[in-house]
Amino acid sequence: MAFAASQEFAALDDGWPHLRDALTSLGLVPTVAFWDDPDEHWDRYDLVVPIFSWGYVTRRAQFLSWIDHVATSSRLVNPAEVLRWNTDKTYLADLADDGIPTVPTVWVHSGSSWRPPADDYVIKPSVGSGGRDAARYRTQSVDGADDHVHRLHDEGYTVMVQPYQPTVDATGEAALVFFGGCYSHAVNKAALLRADVGVTDHLWEQMVITPVEPRNDQRTAAESAIRAVDRRFGPIGYGRVDLIDGEDGTPLVLELELVEPALFIDYAPDAALRFAVHLQSQMSRDAGSADA
């Protein structure tokens, strides 16, 4: 079993030792391999899990080619079509079409005009992670924000423009983690985007994380998002749903992370074993299919 990582981010998160030990306790052999290593032989693995493939956002085309290559010789969890769909945040439009409450988003394509949706708003690329190239605007001139939009267009990105949800300053984001479509655990992430400071790199390094028990309406919203993915693609192996409260208190999906999410395994004592057991079941299912 290979966990795909990026060579530029070879140091994995604090949850990895817990997951590695849980897998080993079940008799599995977890290996860390680099998705961007051209000499890696992916056909030697029964299962490939790209939860550490950070850095793909600057090389999405290469990452998608890698997905297609691995899918011909090994099994990907999550499946290739899920990974492809989830690498571009235009998936939020699909969720909205499915009736899932999402943060209101205007998609600005190259050459299109736009205007601020509110007095306080966020601009970011549709392909990104960890707050990369995101900025919040409140008192700065629209000209500065427009420069940001044009730069992202020049780099080949569709741009997302979203009204900033002020409730996040008080309540933060709720991040709910799922394994095999089943809820596992949740954390709260404190608000990070400050207004009018421009793009801030490495926002993920500033995260303040607290384990929480989600509200009933948050869990319902997150489960609805996961079920929407199941209806489109079939069951998924892992996922994280990030929610913030709208101004009326309704939980809104900010992001649905199905490629390389931080799963915050180190914040939930039993999470590593839950994930390991699910991955073991995928290995067993493949073995059963081969025997048949």
Q: For residue 31, is pLDDT > 70?
A: yes
Whole-angstrom Cα distance, residue 170 to residue 182? Answer: 28
Query: Which residue type does 154 have?
Result: D
Within a domain: 263: no
Q: Which two tokens stand for residue 112?
A: 């299109």
Within a domain: 31: yes
Per residue in 188-202, pLDDT (tens digit) is 999 878 887 778 766
Within a domain: 134: yes
Which of 203, 225, 35 is CA-nearest to residue 122?
Answer: 203
Say yes or no: 170 and 78 in one domain. Answer: no
Within a domain: 265: no
Per residue in 245-278, pLDDT (tens digit) is 999 999 999 999 999 999 999 999 999 999 999 9
pLDDT at residue 292, as a whole number = 39
What's the pLDDT band for 288 if we cut at 50, 70, 90?
very low
Cα 98 to Cα 80, 116, 126, 227: the distances in Å are: 21, 26, 19, 10
Within a domain: 27: yes
pTM: 0.94
Q: Which residue did the predictor score with more confidence, 8 or 37?
A: 37
- State the CATH number of the domain containing residue 19: 3.40.50
Average pLDDT on 4-8 reads 94
Per residue in 80-131, pLDDT (tens digit) is 999 999 999 999 999 999 999 999 999 999 999 999 999 999 999 999 887 7
Within a domain: 264: no
Average pLDDT on 42-49 reads 96
pLDDT at residue 289, as a whole number = 46
What's the pLDDT band for 291 if we cut at 50, 70, 90?
very low
Residues, the chain: 292
Say yes or no: 81 and 154 in one domain. Answer: no
Say yes or no: 36 and 74 in one domain. Answer: yes
Say yes or no: 70 and 97 in one domain. Answer: no
Say yes or no: 149 and 41 in one domain. Answer: no
The tally of domains found in the chain comes to 2
Say yes or no: 31 and 152 in one domain. Answer: no
Say yes or no: 234 and 279 in one domain. Answer: no
Say yes or no: 160 and 55 in one domain. Answer: no
Whole-angstrom Cα distance, residue 230 to residue 100? Answer: 13
What's the pLDDT band for 132 if we cut at 50, 70, 90?
confident
Q: Which two tokens stand for residue 246?
A: 């709208």
Say yes or no: 78 and 98 in one domain. Answer: no
Say yes or no: 10 and 42 in one domain. Answer: yes
Whole-angstrom Cα distance, residue 3 to residue 17? Answer: 12
**Average pLDDT taken over every residue of the chain:** 93
Within a domain: 173: yes
- State the CATH number of the domain containing residue 212: 3.30.470.20
Say yes or no: 274 and 232 in one domain. Answer: no
Domain of residue 38 covers 2-86+270-291
Average pLDDT on 71-80 reads 96
Say yes or no: 164 and 45 in one domain. Answer: no
Cα 41 to Cα 6, 34, 46, 255: the distances in Å are: 15, 10, 12, 32
Q: For residue 10, is pLDDT > 70?
A: yes
Within a domain: 77: yes
pLDDT at residue 204, as a whole number = 55
Which of 35, 80, 32 is CA-nearest to residue 53?
Answer: 35
